[in-house]
A and B are shown apart, each in its own frame.
Chain A
Amino acid sequence: MGKDQLIQNGRRARFKKNFLRNWQLYLFMMPVFLYFFIFHYIPMYGVQIAFKDYYATLGIWGSEWVGFEHFERFFSSYYFWRLLKNTIILNLYMLVLFPLPIILALAFNELRNGAFKKWTQTLTYAPHFISVVVVVGMLVAFLDPNTGLVNHVLRAFGLDAIPFLTSPDWFRHIFVWSGQWQTLGWSTIIYLAALAGVNPELHEAAKVDGATRMQRITRINIPSIMPTIVILFILNIGNFMQIGFEKVLLMQNTLNSETSDVIQTFVYQTGILEGQYSFAAAVGLFESAINIVLLITVNQIARKVSENSLW
């Protein structure tokens, strides 16, 4: 018997002993194991239909391999560039607004009136709990060309009413800023927690040296919460191309599809509504692939530049 064999036997015996003594702990893991296996790992296995011609009667395994046919069809279709462009622009737009919650958190942090701080925080968190259906419903009501409040205001200033929700030019602005309205306050929580951990001695020392409030924010507060900022930025990139697709779907109509058609809505359209499972799975896989590449790249860069990273 080799040395490796001995070690392996020892390990096996140790595990057996451990399992007999703690089998209930392994039982505790069962629901989680089953859930992730069935609803995450089986779909990962099922992704192969992107390279097949899936027929329900043949099953995933029995359907015929077609290689990259669905990908080629997608890349060469006339809507490919439109979908890609819309998806990227929409997500870049959201990414550009990434600093807004940081600014608000810094402002909250400087407030000296405790009651005012508490009230403004409570009120700005509130929209986070409103469902996306209601948010879009409010947009429909507020932006209606005839009865909506916004167009009443425009008319009061002698301007023409704008059909916001059916206009391709307005879709991105409305989507992104209504999203900010919903998440701005809530997103400050993590930054506020990080700010609460800033060493007060740094501020005392800076005060003695005559630093202004603004200087203390830029030289002490912002550098102190930089690790948090970097991590959240990477996580944001990790969701790149996926954020808010359910809201896009609700806001989409035939008149604004020129800018509101994104990859995810296209997957829904072709897969769920039209039943082209293989083709839609290929499009979805293309998107996941971009996501992973982005996440890994940004994580690598962050590790080099700032020494903060997810792994």
Chain B
Amino acid sequence: MSKFSVSDKAFDRLNFLFVLLVTLIIIYPLIFVISASISDPHAVNTGKMWLWPVDVTLEGFRRVFQNDAIWTGYKNTIIYTAVGVAIHLFVLLPASYALSRKELMGKRVWLWFILFTMLFNGGLIPTYLVVRNLQMLDTIWAMVIPGVIGAWSILVARTFFQQTIPDQLVEAAKIDGASDIYLFIKVVLPLSMPIIAVMALFHGVALWNQYFNALIYLRSEDKFPLQLILRQILILNEVSADSASSAAGSAQSFADQIKTASLVKYAVIIVSALPLLIVYPFLQRFFVKGVLIGSVKE
């Protein structure tokens, strides 16, 4: 018996070390970015800064806040996310509720109609042509309508309604003469805050982070969301980081521009991820819950 408990202890220690190692590897790049955003770029670029900030400076953040393109992108992203989430809920909730009710006829047909889109879709080009033919190119609608909902969200929300809204409640309300719309707004929605939060969060994060729809559907730069601006700065290295000073100082040395570029890089990552970083610790359990409700059906 004691032999087992000794090997159990060894197992626990090894397992602890394994999880610790994986966690450290995963968070190291994040710590690096945070430290780099407030360090002197020279120290970052020469490899002197590798964990904690070196020669702390807030210059990067100052230049990010002076940059008009970033502000415009930020504003656009907030608008797209807010409008997109609102439309998402408007499309998702009534339909999922209706699908959870036994009075709705043709349920199998409805579900096939929705689920078939998981199996097959027309693909990038035919979808693009539909958006183009609807005159949605280069408008906010191209950002929020295509992809506003997926079959998966409907299944998850429907499962939630089935489990939380008792039939007796609905029947009692109907006997009292309540219409479905009244019942849905006054009774069902107030009982459904958890699923509304989960769905809004999932869709909100997806909208905040997406760049590809903007890449193919938007033309004018003043409509670009933050992710497209980030792509220009971080990946394409098109740094107009400090428009005022770079215009004035083309002679202000190439080296200085590179310095600005690397200063702004890390700061802009932090600024773009800030809303998510702030809410994430509080909302983590909601996200986890969302994944779990989704897997119930399986």
Contacts and interface: CB of A to CB of B under 8 A. Distances in A.
Q: Do A and B come from one complex?
A: yes
Interface of A: 15, 18-19, 21-22, 24-29, 31-33, 35-36, 38-47, 49, 60, 104, 107-108, 110-113, 116, 119-120, 122-127, 129-134, 136-138, 140-142, 146-147, 149, 152-153, 156, 181, 184-185, 189-190, 193, 210, 212-214, 228, 231, 238, 246, 249-250, 264, 267-268, 271-272, 277, 280-281, 284-285, 287-288, 292, 295
Nearest to A118: B284
Given A131-B208, A137-B230, A288 B120 contact: yes
B123 A120 contact: no
Given A24-B181, A39-B130, A131-B209, 11 more contacts: A22-B103, A22-B180, A28-B95, A107-B22, A111-B19, A125-B284, A126-B27, A142-B32, A147-B262, A268-B124, A292-B120
Given A130-B273, A136-B234, A31 B124 contact: no
Nearest to A152: B47
Given A49-B126, A110-B15, A133-B235, A44 B121 contact: yes
Given A142-B29, A189-B288, A213-B11, A129 B121 contact: no
Per CB-CB distance, the 4 closest pairs between chain A and chain B, nearest first, are: A43-B122, A137-B234, A152-B47, A46-B126
26 contacts: A22-B104, A26-B98, A28-B98, A31-B95, A35-B91, A36-B113, A39-B147, A49-B126, A60-B129, A104-B19, A120-B19, A124-B22, A125-B284, A129-B209, A129-B280, A131-B273, A133-B211, A134-B273, A138-B269, A213-B11, A214-B11, A228-B298, A264-B124, A271-B124, A272-B125, A288-B123
A215 to B, nearest CB: 10
A185 B276 CA distance: 17
A40 B149 CA distance: 11
B284 A122 contact: yes
A104 B94 CA distance: 38
Contact of A107 (B19, B125, B273): B19
B194 interface: no
B175 interface: no
B187 interface: no
B258 to A, nearest CB: 9
Nearest to A196: B292
A124 B26 contact: yes
B154 to A, nearest CB: 7
Contacts of B181: 24, 27
A98 B55 CA distance: 42
Interface string B134-163: 100000000001111100001000000000
B74 interface: no
A29 B280 contact: no
A28 B154 CA distance: 13
A129 B262 contact: no
A45 B123 CA distance: 11
Contacts of A28: 94-95, 97-98, 180, 184
A285 B121 CA distance: 9
A250 B231 contact: yes
A307 to B, nearest CB: 14
Contacts of B7: 212-213
A130 B273 CA distance: 7
A149 B32 contact: yes
Interface in B32-47: 32-33, 36, 44-47
Contact of A39 (B127, B230, B295): B127
A21 B216 CA distance: 45
B212 A107 contact: no
B291 A141 contact: no
B50 interface: yes
Given A28-B97, A189-B292, A35 B149 contact: yes
B272 A44 contact: no
Given A126-B280, A246-B212, A281-B126, A43 B234 contact: no
A26 B18 CA distance: 53
A140 B235 contact: yes
A36 B120 CA distance: 12
B123 A285 contact: yes
A185 to B, nearest CB: 6
A40 B117 contact: yes
A46 B122 contact: yes
Interface in B64-79: none
Interface string B73-101: 00000000000000000111011011101
Contacts of B145: 35, 39
Interface string B233-261: 11100000000000000000000000000
B220 interface: no
B121 A280 contact: no
A288 B121 contact: yes
Contacts of B120: 44, 288, 292
A44 B123 CA distance: 8
A33 B112 CA distance: 12
B95 A193 contact: no
